Amino acid sequence: MSKCLSCGKIGLFLKINKQGLCKKCFSIEETSSSSNTKNHLSDKPKQGANLTFHRIKQKKIPNEIFELLWFTNGKYKNYNFQDEPSAINLSLPIGHGITGELGYYPSYSNMSPAQRNKYLNWLTDISQPVEIGYVFTFYYGLERFISNGDYEKVFPILLKLKKYHKNSSFQFYTNSALALIALKTEKVEYLNYFDIDTLSDNAFLALKFSFNHYLTPKDIMKIHKLVNFTNTRYIKNEAELFQNILSKKIKEDFNSEYYIIKIKNEHSLGTVGAFLLGNISLYEREIKVIDIISDKNIYNDLYSLLSETHEETKLFLKRKRKTNKEKKL
């Protein structure tokens, strides 16, 4: 049995080529390579890949950035396929001229020679303001390092990118990536560098379980959709009152200020998607975590707390309206 290095499928292949691809993926790779040759026919460098690499090195890209780049050929080759958008192909030239816009889902291979030059110059100082497509091109490569488990060297670079590039979509992805690294490394100090409230409910719950093992009243209100609690009138319009009543109920029912997350057997629970990566070339873009809400006891506890709090809030407001009405008489 063999595993295809591209699609990840396992099977018995009649022949395994040098790239370690199944027949289907090898066919796709050949088509892609042929297409790239046609697309860049006019880009063919006159003095070879060595000169291109020399020019890249001359740009003095910092080591902490250079070691997070992917190369498809040359001395520092570390990637074998054509699908990684950030991968640098040394056979493609670097030039000058009008750059133009990169467009949606940019990649190094699809850049013009002038755009590649601009991108490589930006890599010398990633705090420089630049079209967000260049930032995403580099970021896609960082996600591949994260997928490979290289968390520590990626984290500070993500922080720097997040600090200087305020595009809302980019902020979403970097925030999620930072949270994923915190979860994978189990480093509590990393929680200070991203906004946990902007994460998906499943990612939020996974972090709460991993680091705290409890939920505050506000946390329970935030993840109400996970337990299919849909009557959100008072959560939205009477948030402070709802939170105070919920806090009281937690103390009454569980003798605690917080709801303690207790799972008897984690291995009996399934998984659920929590973190979405932006690089569509990755084999696994959706990172899954333990499905805590699939524990029936937790599900029922949280739903009951929300439902009972809703009814008590409703009754409180009804009595308040009645009292106010009587005072006016």
**Percentage above 90 pLDDT, the chain:** 73
* Nearest residue to 183 via CA among 199, 171, 172, 170: 199
The whole-number pLDDT of residue 322 equals: 84
More confident residue, 47 or 323: 323
In which band, very low, low, confident or very high, does the pLDDT at 264 lie, cut at 50, 70 and 90?
confident
More confident residue, 22 or 218: 218
In which band, very low, low, confident or very high, does the pLDDT at 46 lie, cut at 50, 70 and 90?
very low
In which band, very low, low, confident or very high, does the pLDDT at 104 lie, cut at 50, 70 and 90?
confident
Amino acid at 116: R
pLDDT by residue (tens digit) across 281-327?
999 999 999 999 999 999 999 999 999 999 999 999 999 888 877 66
pLDDT-wise least confident of 123-127, 132-136, 159-163, 324-328: 324-328
Report residue 174: phi and psi, to 5°.
Answer: -70, -40
Task: Look at residue 249 and tell me whether its pLDDT is greater than 60.
Answer: yes
**Percentage above 70 pLDDT, the chain:** 82
Q: Do residues 178 and 158 touch, judged by C-beta distance below 8 A? A: yes
Question: Which residues in 244-277 are b (16+ Cβ under 10 Å) and which e?
Answer: ebbbebbeeeeeeebbebebeeeeebeebebbeb
pLDDT by residue (tens digit) across 80-101?
987 999 999 999 999 888 888 9
Structure tokens at 224: 């109400």
Q: What angle do CA 297, 300, 305 make, to 5 degrees?
A: 125
Task: Look at residue 103 and tell me whether its pLDDT is greater than 70.
Answer: yes
The whole-number pLDDT of residue 82 equals: 76
**Mean pLDDT, range 214-231, rounded to an integer:** 98
- What's this model's pTM, rounded to 2 decimal places? 0.80
Report the C-alpha gap between 305 and 119 in whole angstroms.
53
